[in-house]
Structure 1
Amino acid sequence: MKQHQGTVQGPAAGEPAAARTDHDNFVDAPPDFRFPVVRTRLMADLAGRALQRPCGLATVETLLSPHGWGKTVILAEVFRAWRRDAGLPGVWLGLGYLDDDLDTVILQLSRQIAAWVPGMAPGLTAEHGPIYGVQDQILRPLLENVPLPFLICIDNIDNCTESLAPGALDALFDTAPPGVHFLLTSNRSLGYDRVEAMMRGALREHGTTELAFADAEACEMLGRTVQALGPEVLPALLERAEGWAAGLRLVAMLLDAPAGGAGMLSRFSGAAPGLRDWFDRKVLAAMPPQMHRFLLFASLLPSFEPGQVGKVIGAGDVQKHMDSMLAQGMFIVPVAGRCNRFRMHQLLRDRLRAEAEQTVPEPERTAFCREMAQLAAEDRLWDEAISAARSSRSDGLIAQVLERAAPSLVRDMCRMRYFVEVVDELIAAGVPLGFETRYWHVFALTFYLRHASAGRHLEQLRSVACGGDAGGCSLVHRIEHLSVALAFLRDDLPLAGRHARQWLESGHDKDPFDHAWVLSVMAAYHLTAYRFAETRDCLWRARGLAHEVRSPYLTGWCDLILGASYLYEGNVFRAREIIDQALARAERALGADADLCDLISSVASKCAVEAGDHEKARDLLARALRSMHKHGNVGTSMCAVDAALQLWDGDEHDPVFLRLKSVVPRYSFRLRLMFSCYLIRRLVSLGRVADAQAEAAAIGLDLAEGRVRLAGGELLPRTRDIIAMTAIELLLGIGDSGTARKLAEREREAAEHDGRALRQARLELVLMALARQRGDDAEAANRLRTALLLARRRQMVEAFRRHRPDIDALLASRAFGAEHFPNPDDRAFLSRLLAHLGIEEPGSSTESPRPADAGVPLTGRERELMRLVQSGLSNPEICEIMNLSRNTVKWHLKNIFIKLNVPNRTVAAMVYSE
């Protein structure tokens, strides 16, 4: 942990982007208030103690009261003083009114905190749904590395109602090391051990007594209202409102109304609950009837655009009244990121909606919601359109809007989970649905391991299409596209390939999205058989169609398969480049929480492992594993399983290992088999040969043939290859070198024939190890040289790690060295690889530096980098100027040091000249 020194201007990775979920349920910055903020005693106390050195806040401080007591205003001002005035590190998390479980809240919180931790990408920890060990494995390591002191503000923490059981918050607060402080607001009592926390000074609670406005504070808030009525009004007003901030504003509005005045106070009840009763009945009496009517209708919507609502109900200039309400803090809140769109404070909306349902005739409400839904649909604001349609309580309208929204929600916006939830509710209610809604519902179901349900709905849809009019043939053709998707996501790739070929060869007109999706499935089918040219041809055609329909999901899916094709081929550098770009584009288009980003992260984690970047691989795995229990995609999940087990240290209580063991059984036989194979290989590398043999026996692994007897039917080529490599490595582990060599030679020839460099390099290393066992260092050196030449252009380094002892021995015996590589780029790769493996290159540490060899010139990028080094810039500064990652800069510097024959950047800066 690092103690904070001076001020911190921003997070290590920049300020986090606005947090998005399916419901926009989180906000990562305090709201902007349109009214003058009164600095209350409690606000001053909290801000003053927060900015003391050392920080005077308790570990947890809570503002606890019903709605309307100004909790959010106080929290926001303390946070702004902390961040803006003092420049101290901290995060804000505002919870919406839709319930969220505590795990989801912690994951969102972790995502924002990660921006303050050097080397941690801020988008890595956001997810929907549970993940094993979220507090201990994600939040705790982050909090142990944030700069101190660190402030965490959570507004409306009680909105995660489902998980706030006794003990849940105790565990959360116990996660925080000294110097990390929580400042929370809640509308109800929270479930944690107050007595124990207060006894050790870790908790301070602030209720309505401290939140209540004092005379001077109320006078400042009310301003000219009190001045016009006279000072004697204020005590009566405070007595009636009991310091309730919302009540004070409401009373002031009534007093400012034409029929208001000091005499109006005598008609109030003396208690705050009475004032709230009055609010239910009379608050809008202070407003023009037109504005009252406007707000009644607006309360039917989760958010609204004033001009649209006013136009639909025939109201005049509502913006003037809106401005007045915003200036007075009257429960109207701007929606973050949406121009001129607002939502009501829940306190106001609950009461207005109840009044609207009682006083506005249902036909009028339905007509309003219908028109608002249609306006939103015209603007392609599908969430708003569906919300308005559902508020109308008209099944027909909901079905109509869904019919229009379905293609965009599923294929363009990747909102499959949200769409499935809505449609499932309508199906359960017996609402008749249109063809497009049902069609895209089946498509979305296939992505969430709901294959039986998808198959049932697909048959119903096929029956409807076959029994229809003359256009039925066209509909049946579209439905067959769903058969391709269902077979693919059931992991029956041979069947998916046959369906896809038949569909592509048919003479029917093809929807561009359907056409692109089937081509992508065909590409994935070719890829499993290592038909790389056919794979890329299908993807080239599919990507053009995806661009035509402007589907970021389909574009990202095609890029994922393309990156995987380079990974399978062995070109890790190109695969990583494609996958990193695909992930960045998908995040921009769909949001970092999209399931597609998790799929891409699975392949990216495998790329990072093969490149030897374990820290990056672990970060990507955190994203890959979070939704693996939902999507059921075997190809991407295999990448995540492989990467996770390569990084596994053998601890069977490790959360990642436990998560894999809980999720993998939900998948098809192929992934379960691959998990066992990767596990066997990792156990062998960890020296646990007996455990590996037991696992091999459980799956029926035939070591001599490199096959699994339990597998029914024909295995895909990639599956067969992984089984064969598992047998080879286990044979090596048990000392059966003869059988291992025979099998390895057979597989190496096949890999070379198929042009699969990564597999060939791995098998060359196996044969190197076998040659070393026989004492044939000459053959071992040749095998190692071949593997290095295969790996160099592809940045493959991880394959060499398990053979480190043999490589070290060959170098030490002088049977192998840099002289085997006349090409300077090959020598540079060897040096980088040895540094990665922690092997000292012979004769590399004591030679004196010399100027650059004219025969080995620096590249243009290397010359640019050296000019920045000579100017005294640090690596992070060079990264920013050249728009490169830190690993890339280190890579270039290592290469430069080789070419200049220098040990470090200081000497390089001294000897380099252009």
Structure 2
Amino acid sequence: MTRPEEHGTAPEADPRGDPYLRTRFAVPASPPIFLRRERLLSHLDQALRTPLTMVNGAAGAGKTLLVAGWAEERADTVAWFTAEAADQGPGMFWAYVLQALRAVGVRLPTELGGPADAGRVTRALLARLAAELSGRDGPVVLVVDEYDRVRDPEITEQLEFVLHHAGAGLRLVLVTRTEPLLPLHRYRAAGELTEIRGAELAFTPQEAAELLDAHGLRLPPHAVRALVERTRGWAAGLRLCALAARDSPDPETYLKEFEADRSTVADFLLAEVLKQQPPEVQDLLLRISVLERFCPELADALTQRTDSGPVLAGLHRENAFVEDLGHGWYRLHPLFGEILRAHLRVGAPGLEPELHRRAARWLRRSGFLAETLGHAAAAGDWEFTAGALVDDLAIGQLFTGLRCDDLAELFSRMGPRSDGPATYLVRAARELGRCDLERGLAHLRHAELRLRGDAPAARLSCALLQALAGRLTGAPERVEAAAADAGRLCERVPAELLRKHPELTALLLAHLGSARLWAGRFEDARTALELVAACAGGAATALVREDSLGRLALIDFLDGRPGRAERRARAAIAETERFGLPQPSGSGVGSLVLAAVAIDRDDLAQARALLDAAAESRPALRDPVTEAGRAIVTGRLHLARGDTRAALEAVRPVVHAEAVSPWATGQTALVVAAVHLAEGRPETAAALLHEVPGDQPACVVAAARAHFAAGEPQAALRLLDRARPEGRAGPAVTVRAALVRAQAADEAGDLDAARRLLARALREARRERLRRPFREAGPWLRPYLDTAPLRALAEDWLTPATAPRPGAGPPPVVEELSGRERDVLRRLAQLMSTEEIAADLYVSVNTVKTHLKSAYRKLAVNRRQDAVRRARELGLL
């Protein structure tokens, strides 16, 4: 029998005898609300210059609508054919291809014929088709939509044959969920392939905003960005969310909080993705949905099978919402994961905790501590969770590092029924971290009572917490004993664990250094704190380095060296800023020191702003050093403003500590004595300062000044001569000592000696910009400052502060604003909200808040309006 394809008639029916379905040749119409995406259309235009184009993405990625919109706008001949899984064999495929070409007016000779058998097509027919296309004046574009439904490899081989031999007469566009079996590597190497994949198909925030706007939804940039993040820019998800949100009274809240499993998005993904898979693959997807990321071995642990590797690779190739993270790891699309988890809870109630438990044990064996803790907590297995943290020597992560807040929140869900030593250690750490000493120490005692056998990691964690408790209670001897225990235990734990967790050693040294600082053992404190400041660990030890640098700055300030203290304090603050930790972070000691330096420089507005910043420190680091420091600096600020009553109130509260701190006692006495002096009681001030323990240079100089005010200049000079503070302290002390001696010389009529001493004081103070000592000295020195030699030493730094010139501008910014801080200020001046600034600069809201805090500090302001006004005054805007 002669087959029709050997004759010249074009068949009116397909090889099975059914009429051709015209809808399969129709270019899909765009929906009523459709967003033209110029960047993708421009990319698609390359299809006219390359033989092969592949648009490859997941279900609902917008592939078909993109290509359809592009095809409708092209003046060139575009033939459209939608493949179907029901087609059987090459004969049916090629019959529809030929009909698609004829449907758009491609003149094919009648002798070309068509396939007569649904299961096969002759090579001669394909050769005639290729020859006919190769002779065309211009190319015909053939779009095959849903090409992933074509499973017969013979069809792919035949398509490659025709494409190759048709030459410039054919441009083939494949719209597919999977990568076709064509030799794509050859086309890529030759530059003959145009590709648009899932990442490029994803909507950008700007495109998403335009799409939402077309649906009548106008959302702030941060809300759009959050929706794009949750949907990964998935076209169908965005469109379905927009349609649902239009019916909500509060669209913004709906799009932020909608339950993915109870939406049309769930219906789409379940029907188009999950239900398309075999039952065993559906089971795998449901089980791995509890994981943020997964590898084949972890998936095997959850499914108790051994073939997850090829299944996951296949799902990724099929664009089944399984994303390849590289290095053998995958993750689910966020919305798909949400929906699968909800489906799992309904279909297999009670299975989810067991899956989390299996995941935690596999991750623990594999060394993934952070993920171990999350899954163990989700399983409700708190003994395992706390044990993993303690056994890994990671209990220090509750106090420092990028995850300390997350860990604190995770363990806040731990119930009281868990009573193992590890759970009590974690409870003790949490309570001590919140400065609840009574509960923290009680939990620590329970932990120690339950520790049995050789458990060096747990015992080392105990020693760390004992050191912290000693630091918080102001008990240096307890800290020294705990540190000694820790040193012995460190020799019994694996060295690689200590290297893995540098925060543990850093915290121990920081507690030791702070306790020694409280005890007034400055050199011993420096030894420990400098080791912490120089330690490695990056973000893991950033908070504890910030704290130690701040305390080193405090020691410098107490030694009377404000310049060195300022440099260390700024380095302390930079430690948390450069790692992007949420601000404010750390102990705030650096800000306290900068506030004290600002008071000595008579920049009281800056001091107030810095004190406010220091008040927002972490509770775990609010030990007696910080509490005493805050009280003393606050008292000094009130003194500088002339409010003696507020100064006394500031230092009145007793800092609770087991041991007395000599420097805290001395600095408090300095504030109280200054109040007595200001209120005309110099004898009381002198008596108070003589009672200060130790021979503290700052107190000696203040006592000498009190004696002078009491009419006892010789007693003042004898005190200075005996103590010789000039050889033991820095400029903040020696400048004040020189001023007392200069005033005594002035009182005695020795004007040359007074000028000489005042010149020395000015030279020392100029380097440090110390203005406050000269304001405290009184009016006697003004005539001297009007004389030529001394006027030159005082100009440009002291005179404007002590006697402001009419029309003088605002004081300069202490520290130059960074480029990003200026960017934030410019947007602040445009009345943009924090969220709008974050969206405009493509950074997080927390990052914007960090830049604002830093800018406020540098500009010495507390409010937005003041920041903008000050920046304009300084010519920064």
Please report the TM-score for the alignment, with normalisation by the length of structure 1.
0.48
Residue equivalent to 2:175: none
Q: How far apart, in 1, do the equivalents of 2:472 and 2:664 lie?
A: 15
2:401 corresponds to 1:413: yes
Cα shift at 1:285: 3.3
Q: Give the direction of change, closer, same or farther, for the CA distance of 1:678–1:508 in structure 2 (3 Å limit).
A: same
Cα shift at 1:786: 3.5
- Equivalent runs, 1:79-90 vs 2, <5 Å: none
Q: How far apart, in 1, do the equivalents of 2:207 and 2:703 lie?
A: 61
Cα shift at 1:452: 1.7
Residue equivalent to 1:811: 785
Are the counterparts in 2 of residues 605 and 639 from structure 1 also a CA contact under 8 Å? no
Residue equivalent to 1:752: 726
- Secondary structure, in 3 states, of the residue corresponding to 2:761? helix
Q: How far apart, in 1, do the equivalents of 2:471 and 2:693 lie?
A: 13
Cα shift at 1:577: 1.9
2:562 corresponds to 1:588: no
- Equivalent runs, 1:486-525 vs 2, <5 Å: 486-493=469-476, 495-496=477-478, 499=481, 509=491, 516-525=506-515
Are the counterparts in 1 of residues 398 and 404 from structure 2 also a CA contact under 8 Å? yes
Q: Give the direction of change, closer, same or farther, for the CA distance of 1:80–1:758 in structure 2 (3 Å limit).
A: farther
Cα shift at 1:596: 1.5
Q: How far apart, in 2, do the equivalents of 1:777 and 1:595 lie?
A: 52
- Secondary structure, in 3 states, of the residue corresponding to 2:758? helix
- Of residues 347, 355, 358 in structure 2, which corresponds to 1:368? 355
- Secondary structure, in 3 states, of the residue corresponding to 1:449? coil
Residue equivalent to 1:357: 345
- Of residues 413, 416, 419 in structure 2, which corresponds to 1:432? 419
2:435 corresponds to 1:449: yes
Q: How far apart, in 2, do the equivalents of 1:353 and 1:804 lie?
A: 75
- Secondary structure, in 3 states, of the residue corresponding to 1:596? coil
Are the counterparts in 1 of residues 704 and 717 from structure 2 also a CA contact under 8 Å? yes
- Of residues 767, 771, 787 in structure 1, which corresponds to 2:761? 787
Identity of aligned residues (%): 16
Are the counterparts in 1 of residues 739 and 757 from structure 2 also a CA contact under 8 Å? yes
- Secondary structure, in 3 states, of the residue corresponding to 1:551? helix
Are the counterparts in 1 of residues 428 and 440 from structure 2 also a CA contact under 8 Å? yes
Residue equivalent to 1:389: 376
Are the counterparts in 2 of residues 399 and 432 from structure 1 also a CA contact under 8 Å? no
Q: How far apart, in 1, do the equivalents of 2:573 and 2:428 lie?
A: 26
Q: How far apart, in 2, do the equivalents of 1:492 and 1:222 lie?
A: 62
- Of residues 460, 475, 485 in structure 1, which corresponds to 2:446? 460
Letter of the aligned partner of 1:491 in structure 2?
Answer: G
- Equivalent runs, 1:199-238 vs 2, <5 Å: none
Count of aligned pairs between the two proteins: 566
Residue equivalent to 2:558: 568
- Of residues 760, 765, 771 in structure 1, which corresponds to 2:739? 765
Are the counterparts in 2 of residues 488 and 521 from structure 1 also a CA contact under 8 Å? yes
- Of residues 289, 313, 316 in structure 1, which corresponds to 2:312? 316
Are the counterparts in 2 of residues 446 and 486 from structure 1 also a CA contact under 8 Å? yes
- Of residues 682, 685, 704 in structure 2, which corresponds to 1:703? 685
Letter of the aligned partner of 1:398 in structure 2?
Answer: T
Residue equivalent to 2:271: 285
Q: How far apart, in 2, do the equivalents of 1:480 and 1:835 lie?
A: 55
Residue equivalent to 2:468: 485
Cα shift at 1:625: 0.8
- Of residues 614, 620, 625 in structure 2, which corresponds to 1:635? 625
- Of residues 549, 552, 563 in structure 2, which corresponds to 1:559? 549
Are the counterparts in 1 of residues 598 and 604 from structure 2 also a CA contact under 8 Å? yes
- Equivalent runs, 1:586-735 vs 2, <5 Å: 586-589=576-579, 591-593=581-583, 595-596=585-586, 598-611=588-601, 614=604, 616-627=606-617, 631-648=621-638, 668=657, 680=672, 689=679, 703-707=685-689, 717=694
Letter of the aligned partner of 2:374 in structure 1?
Answer: S
User: Whose Rg is larger?
Assistant: 2
Q: Give the direction of change, closer, same or farther, for the CA distance of 1:409–1:380 in structure 2 (3 Å limit).
A: farther
Deviations 1:455-502 (A, max 9, x none): 22333333344xx33x47997677455433322221234x35753786
Cα shift at 1:716: 6.5
Are the counterparts in 2 of residues 296 and 352 from structure 1 also a CA contact under 8 Å? yes
Deviations 1:624-654 (A, max 9, x none): 1123766422323444444444444899999
Deviations 1:799-818 (A, max 9, x none): 43433644433212568454
Are the counterparts in 2 of residues 665 and 672 from structure 1 also a CA contact under 8 Å? no
Q: Give the direction of change, closer, same or farther, for the CA distance of 1:613–1:384 in structure 2 (3 Å limit).
A: farther
Are the counterparts in 2 of residues 748 and 760 from structure 1 also a CA contact under 8 Å? no
Q: Give the direction of change, closer, same or farther, for the CA distance of 1:730–1:294 in structure 2 (3 Å limit).
A: farther
Q: How far apart, in 2, do the equivalents of 1:601 and 1:322 lie?
A: 55
Q: Give the direction of change, closer, same or farther, for the CA distance of 1:617–1:93 in structure 2 (3 Å limit).
A: farther
Deviations 1:257-296 (A, max 9, x none): xxxxxxxxxxxxxxx99x9588888972343235865775
Residue equivalent to 1:402: 389
Residue equivalent to 1:837: 801
Structure 2 stretches lacking a partner, 5+ long: 1-59, 66-203, 214-218, 228-234, 252-257, 806-853, 860-877
- Secondary structure, in 3 states, of the residue corresponding to 2:417? coil
Q: How far apart, in 1, do the equivalents of 2:597 and 2:383 lie?
A: 49
Q: How far apart, in 1, do the equivalents of 2:368 and 2:718 lie?
A: 58
Are the counterparts in 2 of residues 728 and 740 from structure 1 also a CA contact under 8 Å? no
- Secondary structure, in 3 states, of the residue corresponding to 1:833? coil
Q: How far apart, in 2, do the equivalents of 1:549 and 1:649 lie?
A: 39
Q: How far apart, in 1, do the equivalents of 2:482 and 2:605 lie?
A: 39
2:568 corresponds to 1:578: yes
Q: How far apart, in 2, do the equivalents of 1:788 and 1:379 lie?
A: 65
Are the counterparts in 1 of residues 604 and 637 from structure 2 also a CA contact under 8 Å? yes
Cα shift at 1:392: 1.8
Deviations 1:56-106 (A, max 9, x none): xxxxxxxxxxxxxxxx9899838999xxxxxxxx99666xxxxxxxxxxxx
Letter of the aligned partner of 1:490 in structure 2?
Answer: T
Letter of the aligned partner of 2:346 in structure 1?
Answer: Q
Are the counterparts in 1 of residues 290 and 341 from structure 2 also a CA contact under 8 Å? yes
Cα shift at 1:350: 7.5
Are the counterparts in 2 of residues 376 and 382 from structure 1 also a CA contact under 8 Å? yes
Query: Which region of structure 1 is more displaced relative to structure 2, 304-313 or 518-527?
Result: 304-313
- Secondary structure, in 3 states, of the residue corresponding to 1:764? helix
Structure 1 stretches lacking a partner, 5+ long: 1-32, 39-71, 82-89, 95-152, 157-216, 224-236, 249-271, 327-331, 710-714, 819-826, 842-884, 891-914
Are the counterparts in 2 of residues 373 and 384 from structure 1 also a CA contact under 8 Å? yes
Q: How far apart, in 1, do the equivalents of 2:621 and 2:334 lie?
A: 36
Are the counterparts in 2 of residues 442 and 458 from structure 1 also a CA contact under 8 Å? yes
Q: How far apart, in 2, do the equivalents of 1:75 and 1:645 lie?
A: 56
Cα shift at 1:674: 8.1
Are the counterparts in 2 of residues 628 and 637 from structure 1 also a CA contact under 8 Å? no
Q: How far apart, in 2, do the equivalents of 1:293 and 1:664 lie?
A: 64
Give the RMSD, CA atoms, in angstroms. 6.1
Cα shift at 1:451: 1.7
Letter of the aligned partner of 2:347 in structure 1?
Answer: T
Q: How far apart, in 2, do the equivalents of 1:309 and 1:702 lie?
A: 75
Letter of the aligned partner of 1:486 in structure 2?
Answer: A
Cα shift at 1:591: 0.4
Letter of the aligned partner of 1:488 in structure 2?
Answer: R
- Of residues 671, 690, 710 in structure 2, which corresponds to 1:736? 710
Are the counterparts in 2 of residues 372 and 388 from structure 1 also a CA contact under 8 Å? yes
Q: How far apart, in 2, do the equivalents of 1:754 and 1:316 lie?
A: 71
Are the counterparts in 2 of residues 570 and 759 from structure 1 also a CA contact under 8 Å? yes
Q: Give the direction of change, closer, same or farther, for the CA distance of 1:244–1:449 in structure 2 (3 Å limit).
A: same
